[in-house]
Structure 1
Amino acid sequence: MAANARLTDIAQQNVLEWLAAQQQAMLDLLARLVNQDSGSFDKRGVDAAGTILRDFFSAAGIEIEVTPNDTYGELMRVLLPQPAAQDQRDILLMGHRDTVFGSGEATRRPFRIDGDNAFGPGVADMKAGLVMNAFVLAAFKRFGGHPGPLVALITADEEISSPSSRAYIEVQGRRARAAFNSEPSPTKDIVVVARKGGVFMTVEIFGKAAHAGAAPKDGISAIEELARKVVRLHALTDFDKGVTVNVGMVSGGQSVNTIAPYASARIDLRYVHCNDREAALAAVRRVIETAHLEGTHATLTIDSEREPLEITEESTWLLAEYKMAGQVLGLDVQGISVGGGADSAITAAQGCPTLCSVGPVGHNGHSDDEYIEVSSLVPRAQLLALAIARLPSGLKNVIATSADAS
């Protein structure tokens, strides 16, 4: 037992020391990824970004499974077995290579470094996290020390709520022992333990066209009806409860001199707890179903959803393990709650202990000013690697034993 423990300690030390020397190699891989356009609907670009990562894993001698998709990018599942481990459930690393940016964005503002900041489309959300995961896997491939099989999911459509990846994430979450999602973190000692759920909807309003100059009384304006609904939708926001409603896009009308026969809008509903969803969604439906102008009618369609990432006993225990790894590296790690959604909520919904935003420090995602702090790449990779290496077997059994003891 002592000899095995000593060997594990040596492996952990080798992993940390090797990662400490990889910053430039990480930046080189990151530059290649950022300079490859990979918007969610750009299948060719997303697959090209996947090829960059496949080349890295192949060179490292790490197995890759690829699942094709006719519409979205390929799903990649990277495998690093550990046949000697007592607990053969997977330890899951998560990340997505799609971005919110269109084709040509990488040419317009390619990867660049200014001081300690690295800029470029998708650099923080979340190509730097993919690079970090890749190097953590490469470190364990070289030196061992991982206490169970490692699996990395590299998905292609997270920014549009994972329509093709969700089923794979659910399956992987059900059989995983723990999951770490490498979305960016706001500081070097923060991880995310809770995220809001979201319902993304389209409302369509139908009115009646008429000439705006010659016969305005004959028309019924769908735009006016929509405007009245927007005010009432925004009034549903309850900051104390963590429920927000935002109409982020509107369109409609036929011409400037026509009473608008049609209008539409996109609605973003966010909530904290699963049991908040039905009441919040019912309130939105009541607004949509209530006509303010006689003769109009409306439809509401749910386009996509994200469940919330909620704090559980299992995730609290996993955070404690992660915090202890941070203490070894001189960090006082804290868990926070945020509003944005992520694929981490999918694994958590399957009962898998999950932490999010374990990736490098990044800011201003989805904007031209998006950047990561270069100096965070290695320390965050080391922290993730150490947390994995120290992860006990029989995670749920350990939780139950701890609860009984208390």
Structure 2
Amino acid sequence: MTARLMEQACSWLADQREAMAECLKTLVEIDSHSHDKAGNDAVADVIAGWLEADGIELKRTSRPHAGDILEARLEGTQAGHVLLMGHRDTVFPTGTVARRGYTQRGDLAFGPGVADMKAGLVLNCFVLRALRRLPSLPYPVHALFTADEEIGSLDGRAFIEEAVQGARAVFNAEPGRVSGNVVTARKGGAGFLIEVEGRAAHSGVNHADGASAIEALARKIVKLHALTDHAAGVTTNVGVIEGGMSRNTVAPWARAQLDVRFVSASQRERLYADIEAIVAEQELPGTSGSLTRTSAFLPLEARMSEVLFGHYQGHAARLGFAVEGEFTGGCSDAGFTASLGVPTLCGVGPVGAKMHTDEEVCRLDTLVPRAQAVAATLLDLGDLTGEGAKSPVSA
């Protein structure tokens, strides 16, 4: 029965390349920067129209300050759904489409967000449409379309964690690597705002009465950067600093933005504690520091994708393409689901390259086979409950 369902789904998808490319063009031609609610909601409108036309059940949750949350559902005969994930937002500011919209050169498509991850949204939609045409599904399939992943999923995370409850597996349609591989492990990461207060004084008349927030911050930055351990996969990077009033004033304030990356939850806990201690330490009399976390992603540890990747790799081979698992230092929503103990595979979207740049590109020849691989795998998952089960991790 399962083999017949896989054959039917893959057969329908085999004829959809041009339709998928046309849908990709439609989505790319809509500006949807993370802070552009209207643009993100316009993308949701288009997706909803495609899925409703095939009779797929939708739930849309209005959000006041972010793009709406859109969820699609197909029913199945057993408990334990499969979750497809994708984010509608891009890093490109509103107005980018007017300057450089969708273009196509042979099997290559260009445009803002074409790979990250509007091609993945199209893939998820066509997988749902293929499954909708089957006589029945062995278990339910849900798809979640969020709108703020590029800025840390501050609004979307709660919906992701709710949607994954009871799931047997997750496929996150971030772009496939330029190598053609999928992502089996990702770093977690966080952003912090460090603020230091000092005491102003004239730098020539009464320098000794001042307490330089800039000097205190500089000392902290040296300590923060010393936490980097490349061999262990831990990095710390202060990428933005600002502060002070004028050249001839001892600086009464300074602040910095810190980015950190880590491979495991245990590394994260140690790193957070070290950062808190460094910021709290008084570097100079009359100065004080405070720390605010501005974003957080949890890691996708390799053990949470291993069994699921084995299923995917086998079906990809039967479909005619070879694929390996790959580690990346970038973060994604896959870490949230994996850290809740649910087998998760990321980077299953069409193959892309040069994401977040003006040269971002998607390989159109990978639209169909990557969609077929996801559809075949999710129809043939069996029991994955033993894979890497663990207690939830908070961020």
TM-score by length of 2: 0.92
Distance change (3 Å), C-alpha of 1:46 and 1:317: same
Q: Could you report, residue by residue, the CA deviation over 1:45-83 in whole angstroms, capped at 9, with x for unpaired residues?
A: 11111111111111222111001111111111101112x
- Report the residue type matching 1:278 in the other structure: E
Task: Give the share of equivalent positions with the same residue, in percent.
Answer: 46
Partner of 1:320: 310
- Report the residue type matching 2:385 in the other structure: K
Partner of 2:378: 388
CA–CA separation in structure 2 for the residues paired with 1:162 and 1:189? 26
Counterparts in 2 of 1:158-307, with a 5 A limit?
A: 158-187=149-178, 189-212=180-203, 214-307=205-298
Partner of 1:375: 365
Matching of residue 366 in structure 1 with residue 356 in structure 2: yes
The runs of 5 or more residues in structure 1 that have no matched partner are 401-406
Matching of residue 124 in structure 1 with residue 115 in structure 2: yes
- Number of aligned residues: 389
Partner of 1:403: none
By how many angstroms is 1:12 displaced? 2.5
CA–CA separation in structure 1 for the residues paired with 2:95 and 2:247? 33
Native 8 Å contact 1:180 1:356 kept in 2 = yes
CA–CA separation in structure 1 for the residues paired with 2:378 and 2:92? 32
- From 89, 104, 122, give the equivalent of 1:98: 89
CA–CA separation in structure 2 for the residues paired with 1:311 and 1:174? 21
CA–CA separation in structure 2 for the residues paired with 1:260 and 1:179? 50
Q: Could you report, residue by residue, the CA deviation over 1:296-330 in whole angstroms, capped at 9, with x for unpaired residues?
A: 21111122211111133x63221111111112113
- Report the residue type matching 1:294 in the other structure: P
Q: Could you report, residue by residue, the CA deviation over 1:108-148 in whole angstroms, capped at 9, with x for unpaired residues?
A: 22111233321222111111100011011111112346432
- From 136, 140, 145, give the equivalent of 2:127: 136
CA–CA separation in structure 1 for the residues paired with 2:282 and 2:4? 70
Partner of 2:41: 47
Native 8 Å contact 1:172 1:347 kept in 2 = no
By how many angstroms is 1:172 displaced? 2.1
- From 332, 350, 365, give the equivalent of 2:322: 332
Distance change (3 Å), C-alpha of 1:225 and 1:369: farther
- Report the residue type matching 1:367 in the other structure: T
Higher mean Cα deviation, 193-202 or 69-78? 193-202
Counterparts in 2 of 1:17-36, with a 5 A limit?
A: 17-36=11-30
By how many angstroms is 1:381 displaced? 0.9
CA–CA separation in structure 2 for the residues paired with 1:306 and 1:111? 30
CA–CA separation in structure 1 for the residues paired with 2:346 and 2:126? 18
CA–CA separation in structure 2 for the residues paired with 1:159 and 1:55? 24
Native 8 Å contact 1:193 1:315 kept in 2 = yes
- From 18, 31, 36, give the equivalent of 1:37: 31
Matching of residue 9 in structure 1 with residue 3 in structure 2: yes
Distance change (3 Å), C-alpha of 1:146 and 1:137: same
Native 8 Å contact 2:32 2:88 kept in 1 = yes
Partner of 1:355: 345
Q: Could you report, residue by residue, the CA deviation over 1:76-121 in whole angstroms, capped at 9, with x for unpaired residues?
A: 1101112xx2x22111101010112222122222111233321222
By how many angstroms is 1:256 displaced? 4.0
Partner of 2:69: 75
Native 8 Å contact 2:307 2:387 kept in 1 = no
Compute the RMSD of aligned alpha carbons: 2.1
**Secondary structure in structure 2 of the residue aligned to 1:248:** strand
**Secondary structure in structure 1 of the residue aligned to 2:231:** coil
Higher mean Cα deviation, 109-118 or 196-205? 109-118
- Report the residue type matching 2:328 in the other structure: V
TM-score by length of 1: 0.90
Native 8 Å contact 1:248 1:268 kept in 2 = yes
**Secondary structure in structure 2 of the residue aligned to 1:396:** coil
CA–CA separation in structure 1 for the residues paired with 2:103 and 2:202? 54
CA–CA separation in structure 1 for the residues paired with 2:160 and 2:310? 24
Distance change (3 Å), C-alpha of 1:257 and 1:367: farther
By how many angstroms is 1:367 displaced? 2.0
Partner of 1:66: 60
Higher mean Cα deviation, 218-227 or 360-369? 218-227
The runs of 5 or more residues in structure 2 that have no matched partner are 390-395
**Secondary structure in structure 2 of the residue aligned to 1:240:** helix
